[in-house]
Amino acid sequence: MSDSPIAVEQHGPELLHHFVDAEQQRDAATLGMWLFLATEIMFFGGMFCAYLIYRFWYYSEFAAGSRSLDITLGTVNTAVLICSSLTVALGVRAAQMGKRKLLVVLLLLTILFGLVFLGIKGVEWYNKYEEHHIPGPTFNVDDLVKAYPNIHIDPQHEQIFFSLYFAMTGLHALHMIIGVGIFAFLTFYAWKGRYTPKYYTPVEMGGLYWHFVDIVWIYLFPLLYLIDRHR
């Protein structure tokens, strides 16, 4: 500590004046990001709660609906998202080490994985459209009634399963689209060389968001595709 009443520290333009040092600034950003993610947990929590209650009420319809989903595409999509989380983690590491080109490549790979996920999701949704499993006036589950004679299927209750399926995967896909936008922004500034080992907070915060969206899918996958295949 110096004896002068106002200690003026030399620092780069990335450190805002109301923070003591870069570490405090980064900790504050991390805390703020996690507070935002806490609200996201509550946001998706409402959907998971609705799923839980309706699954409890309409157990057999949920089992039939779950079986009608494509488990192969679901598993592949889970793997795609896990790969994107790896490229994000490696990207943050590249930023920490100041490897600009590697960071840009890893951010672009993340965007690519995100788009592949959305593409596969689109294929699944299109299949549901062709099967008339989208809730609404054209909704029809005669094929499921025929395919699973041992399961009691009330079309109204089946519609609730598919409403939840589209609401949950749809909101998740919306988060993915926003994530792709954030990563396009990050890629642009990474390419311009804005992020250095001293200042890479935006990459880290974007990464936290991406990993969170990945975790939501890690739970959606078993709940929608896996757990009711034997009832």
Partner 1 sequence: MSEHIMSSKFYYTIWITLLCLTGITAAVSFVDLGPFNAVVALVIATVKALLVVLFFMHVKYTSEKLTKIVIASAIFWLFLLLALSMADYATRHWS
User: Which residues in this chain contact partner 1 in the complex, by CB under 8 A?
Assistant: 23, 26-27, 30-31, 34-35, 37-38, 41-42, 45-46, 48-49, 52-53, 56-57, 71, 74-75, 78-79, 82-83, 85-86, 88-90, 93, 96-97, 204, 207-208, 211-212, 214-215, 218-219, 221-223, 225-230
Decide: 120 and 76 in contact? Cβ < 8 Å: yes
Spatial contact of 54 and 160, defined as CB atoms under 8 Å apart: yes
Supply the minimum distance, in Å, between the C-beta of residue 152 and partner 1.
18
Q: How far is the CB of 3 from partner 1 (least distance, A)?
A: 28
CB count in 10 Å sphere of residue 205: 20
Q: Which residue has the tokens 């679901």?
A: 74
CB 206 → partner 1: shortest distance, Å? 12
Question: Is 194 or 231 the residue whose CB approaches partner 1 more closely?
Answer: 231
Smallest separation, CB 60 to partner 1 (Å): 15
Kindly provide the b/e burial profile for residues 115-146, where b requires at least 16 CB atoms within 10 angstroms of the residue's own CB.
ebbeebbeebbeebeeeebbbeeeeebeebbe
Q: Which two tokens stand for residue 140?
A: 């029809």
Smaller CB separation from partner 1, 6 or 42: 42
Closest distance to partner 1 from the beta carbon of 36 (Å): 10
Give the nearer residue to partner 1 in terms of CB position, either 134 or 182.
182
Residue 174 vs 226, nearer CB to partner 1: 226
Q: Which is nearer to partner 1, 46 or 137 (CB)?
A: 46
DSSP string, 191-229: HTT--BTTB-HHHHHHHHHHHHHHHHHHHHHIIIIITTT
Rounded to whole angstroms, the Cα distance separating 192 from 194 reads 6
